[in-house]
Amino acid sequence: MSEDILKPKDISKPIEMHELLNLKFFIPSYQRGYRWQQQQIIDLLTDIYEFDETKSFYCLQPIVVKQNDEKKCWNLVDGQQRLTTIVLIVRYFNQFFNGEDEDDIPDIQYETRPESSDFLKNIVIDKETNTLPEKMEKLADSNIDFKHMETAYKTIHSWMTKNLEKPYKRNFQDKFLRKTCVIWYELPETEREVDSFTRLNIGKIPLTNAELIKALFLNKSNFLKKDGDESLLRIDSEIRLIQQQIAVEWDKIESSLQNDEFWLFIHEKDYNKPNRIDFIFDLIQKNDLFNLELSEEKLGSDNLASFRYISKLFSREHFSNNKDGLIRSYWEKVKSYFQIFEEWFNNIEYYHYIGFLVEMNGSSIIPSLIKKWNTSKSRDDFRSFILESVKEKVNKYDLAQEYEAVGKPSKRKAIPILLLHNIVTVINQNKLSLENDRYGLSIYYKFPFHLYKKEEWDVEHIDSNIGNTLEDLKDKQEWIITSFEEIEDSKEKDKLKTRVKDFIQLKEDTDNTFDSLNKDLLNILHLDNQKMDSHEKIL
């Protein structure tokens, strides 16, 4: 076996089936034997058969491995069922399609079941009777692992016989070997195999899109130095330093996005991926940041589409000429998206108006906002753009419309106007507060989109029929300061000023101060609304 297979050039990327053929794998003792059923075999073969090969490739779930230097092979952590099925299919090609020109077959060795390897290598079937030789049949009857391999091989033969006419056999074989891929994922040196196996198999938590992309960025081979014809690895400490820098920055981005106060001003409450950094990679793919010009047909529309996009980026021909510089450049561009979000979040007007637009349009508006941000001549141009976008959204509503009257629309139809009123009020009050330093806690001077979305506020969050389930003190303090800013200047408001200031400085609310203060604020807000002109306030 060539030692080339142990070089880290193939870490975390889709690889074609034929690239697996000369590899050697080792199955540790903690894994059970082969257990795929007939239907799983049929589904796999049918999917590949029906796959349109003009649409790039058909991709299987990941095979997770860890390098075993001692045995000069790959320890197979996850994917034994898929890999064994691949071996059986290639074995079938050799028996019936290839004649004497046989393909190599992936070599699988078992820590506790060495006889399984021999059975897998030597399995054959009678073309007419669909049976194994008598000796192999007896072995299969006495061993549950062999029995499942026998059943799988018979199923492969039955499916091939039924579905493939002679002229199409070679075409299907080529489609399987060169148009079918599996995602290759190598575990980091620091990750324990048993822990990963438990997570992936017992816990049934598959590798995520973000984990696969992270492995691409942290691939050790990205940091090779070339000297003539020889590839020289940097000293391990230098490589680890570069990898650590990317890993730390990656974790910082993910941590910030996991903060709902940050996340929910650029996104809806619902998100079906465990890693929110995926949102950035999905945006990169949709905006084609790296100008790869890949169609959806090539990338697919599932949760791994952005991984395929980034994987394609790393496989470009010029990438091998300057990996070190390019990997840093790629990562800087990824960070630039997060840095845009940070700048929006930390700017009072950007935060509120973009948060409003996201609430009205969904996060699908973010790609166009990023594009406008990057192409605007100045920040004033971008500000004008988002203000105009807000106006366009609001101008669709009749400001003279009465709500809640007999025969009139529900007040909830006025949500965009009422929400914008709240937001503009917070912006204006924030500016005054910063000028006068009335509270000395400017961190709370933002409309809390995260509470608005998570608590499903009535826009004015003053309806006493809506339960208040706030538990975190910081959330309660944000609620109070936002409510306080809503109140028109009055003697009643002045009377509450000291109580509000004292409350937002609390470290813990042991006396349930929130409940009484919130009740008083709500009462004043109700009184204010009763005084408002119906056209101006749409009530």
CB atoms within 10 A of CB 70: 7
Q: Cα(371)–Cα(348) distance, rounded to whole angstroms?
A: 21
Mean pLDDT within 184-197? 77
Q: Return all residues near 384 (Cβ < 8 A) that are at least 6 apart.
A: none
Domain ranges within the chain, ordered by starting residue: 13-201, 209-226+233-346, 348-464, 473-537
* Structure tokens, 387: 């203000």
**75 has which bridge partners?**
26, 66
Mean pLDDT within 410-435? 73
Long-range contacts at 121-126 (CB < 8 A, ≥ 24 apart): 121/91, 123/88, 123/91, 123/149, 123/150, 123/153, 124/95, 125/95, 125/153, 125/154, 125/157
Please determine, for residue 233, whether its predicted confidence score (pLDDT) is greater than 70. no
- Total number of residues shown for the chain: 539
Grouping H, G, I as helix, E, B as strand and the rest as coil, residue 32 is coil
Grouping H, G, I as helix, E, B as strand and the rest as coil, residue 469 is coil
Q: Binning pLDDT at 50, 70 and 90, where does residue 462 land?
A: very low
Q: What is the pLDDT of residue 222?
A: 66
Mean pLDDT within 400-413? 53
Q: What is the pLDDT of residue 136?
A: 92
Tell me the three-class secondary structure of 152-196, residue by residue. HHHHHHHHHHHHCCHHHHHHHHHHHHHCEEEEEEECCCCCCHHHH
Do 180 and 14 contact (CB within 8 A), yes or no? no
Grouping H, G, I as helix, E, B as strand and the rest as coil, residue 458 is coil
Q: pLDDT tens digits for 353-365?
A: 999 999 999 999 9
Question: β-strand 24-27 against 107-110: which pairing, if any?
Answer: parallel
Q: Cα(385)–Cα(107) distance, rounded to whole angstroms?
A: 60
Q: Cα(469)–Cα(454) distance, rounded to whole angstroms?
A: 10
Do 278 and 254 contact (CB within 8 A), yes or no? no
Give the range with max mean pLDDT: 143-147, 383-387, 413-417.
383-387
Q: What is the pLDDT of residue 464?
A: 32
Please determine, for residue 337, whether its predicted confidence score (pLDDT) is greater than 90. yes
Please determine, for residue 99, whether its predicted confidence score (pLDDT) is greater than 80. no
Do 183 and 59 contact (CB within 8 A), yes or no? yes
Q: Binning pLDDT at 50, 70 and 90, where does residue 531 land?
A: very low
Tell me how far CA of residue 336 lies from CA of 64, 91, 185, 254, 280, in angstroms. Answer: 31, 49, 27, 14, 10
Grouping H, G, I as helix, E, B as strand and the rest as coil, residue 37 is coil
Q: What is the pLDDT of residue 237?
A: 65
**Average pLDDT of the chain to the nearest whole number:** 80
Question: pTM value?
Answer: 0.61
Q: Cα(123)–Cα(133) distance, rounded to whole angstroms?
A: 9
Long-range contacts at 300-307 (CB < 8 A, ≥ 24 apart): 300/59, 303/209, 303/272, 303/273, 303/278, 304/59, 304/183, 304/209, 304/212, 306/209, 306/213, 306/278, 306/281, 306/282, 307/183, 307/209, 307/212, 307/213, 307/216, 307/281
